Amino acid sequence: MLDKEAIAKRIAKEIQHNSYVNLGIGIPTLVANYIPKNIAVCFQSENGLLGMGPFPTEADIDADLINAGKQTITMLPGAALFDSAMSFGMIHAQKIDLTILGAMEVSENGDIANWKIPGKMVKGMGGAMDLVASAKNIIVAMQHVNKNGESKLLPNCTLPLTGIRCVKKIVTELAVLAVLPEGGFKLLERAPGVSVEDIKKATLGKLIIEGEIPEMAFD
Amino acid sequence: MMINKQVKNAEEAIADLNDGQTIMLGGFGLCGIPENCIAALVKKGVTNLTCISNNAGVDDFGIGLMLQQRQVKKMIASYVGENAEFERQLLSGELDVELIPQGTLAFRCMAAGYGMPAIFTPAGIGTEVAIGKEVRNFNGKDYLLETAFNADFAIVKAWKGDTAGNLIFKATSRNFNTVMAMAGKITIAEVEELVEPGQLDPNQIHVPGVYIHRIFQGSHYEKRIEQKTVSK
């Protein structure tokens, strides 16, 4: 089973050279720590920054410079600042190549629910609905099963939706899966030490398994 | 001589802001919020407000201060996760809340500022956000019709401004302040540094003064940081 860092590390391998990427709060933010040295990538922060850098030292903290999760950050050489309209404009005009975000549930046709648990958690959708509606590629970092062992990869989402038919790839503590255009989770890789049987038991939605399923590689 | 928009302070700026009005407040989290005007609104005790802002502050700062005093009747926001009192008022039904996608919030402000009655966006298609809204298909993709906001006041915070109302923002404290400044029927700008016309380079202006009705030199900015995060 993978921990959060390992999920982030595996997702980092999906990032293409010279791409613009938006990282959601939670596990996705960790992806920035695992970008291979030979990959040029520019991270977008939805509150108005391209070229988001690492967290600052104590001395460099700037209250006017934060990311989407309200954390203090720095800017990299080549960074650009703009307003919220341009920020979401570039998302909807598909200038952002990849969005990586978390999910509570994903359905076998790629629907995603990650913003509301009615009656319990209603923090709001923030930029998530915009991102899933328009990003060219969407990768989800999520737990395969919840605390009670119930599958979060479902035939249909039970929670309020963030977007429909949009998720392309999922990385969980157990597996890497693709969401097929015709529907269904195609199993691509197993986490080290995890069997295909383990993954079958953890997946309620339609799971497609073809041939030998390799273990995830992290190099 | 150049038009002068200067007023003395927040109290003077909000003198005609009354109960029941709709106000936009700039900022993302606590970054770029109009601290002086919020304090003045709390002091003045205006009630029954409809507030349009991306977030609701934290329990004891930003819009949270207005929520504590029950000044807000309705909140239109995209994310309210940092404010426990807000979430409580929402879940208990005390506060009317409309949660909308962040991009839609920005675009509806932009539409108002550009004289466009409505825009189309795909954000929310297939979700509860789409309920009751017109859907149109363009080039094979569905979009929701979203209307421009109609706000009595927009209250924004900038880094530098001149008495003609021109504004410059710093780093990510820009966020919604530009499009809200353009959208208000009356726009109030508080700035960290107010200068005379001619002191700001026209090439550097982010919002031209034509959008600003009242500008004042702010003071005692706390600039609270919600999630101080340092590299190890």
Render pLDDT for A159-186 as a digit per residue (tens, 0 to 9). Answer: 999 999 999 999 999 999 999 999 999 9
A198, A28 contact by CB (below 8 A): no
What is the predicted pLDDT for the residue at B55? 95
Picking from B102, B120, B129 by the largest number of A CB atoms within 10 A of its own CB, the best residue to mutate is: B102
Q: How confident is the model at residue A122 (pLDDT cuts 50, 70, 90)?
A: confident
Active site residue A46: yes
Q: Torsion angle, CA of A110/A111/A115/A117, rounded to 10 degrees?
A: -120
Phi and psi at A201, nearest 5°, equal -65, -30
The closest of B156, B175, B173 to B165, measured between CA atoms, is B156
Contacts of B66 (CB under 8 A, 6+ apart): B38, B41, B42, B49, B51, B72
Q: Which of A5, A14, A46, A173 is catalytic?
A: A46
- A219 has pLDDT over 80: no
DSSP element (H, E) containing A176: strand A175-179
pLDDT value at B232 more than 80: no
Tokens of A170: 């999922």
Q: What percent of chain A stands above pLDDT 70?
A: 100
Task: Give residue B84's pLDDT.
Answer: 84
Structure confidence at residue A58 (pLDDT): 96
Mean of the per-residue pLDDT values for chain B? 96
User: What pTM does this model have?
Assistant: 0.96
User: Is B125 in CB contact (< 8 Å) with chain A?
Assistant: yes
Contact (CB<8Å) A164/B226: no
Distance of alpha carbon A107 from alpha carbon A154, whole angstroms: 5
B220: which 2 tokens?
A: 């005692």
Computed on alpha carbons and rounded to an integer, the radius of gyration of chain B in Å comes to 18
Contacts of A148 (CB under 8 A, 6+ apart): none
Report the C-alpha gap between B76 and B96 in whole angstroms: 9
- For the segment B151-161, the average pLDDT, to the nearest whole number, is 98
Band (A112; pLDDT cuts 50, 70, 90): very high
pLDDT tens across B176-231, in order? 999 999 999 999 999 999 999 999 999 999 999 999 999 999 999 999 999 999 99
pLDDT tens string A23-41: 998 899 999 999 999 999 9
- A82 neighbourhood in chain B, CB within 8 Å: 174
Reply yes or no on whether the pLDDT at A146 is more than 90: yes
User: Per 3-state DSSP, what percentage of chain B is helix, strand, and coil (rounded to 5)?
Assistant: 25, 30, 45
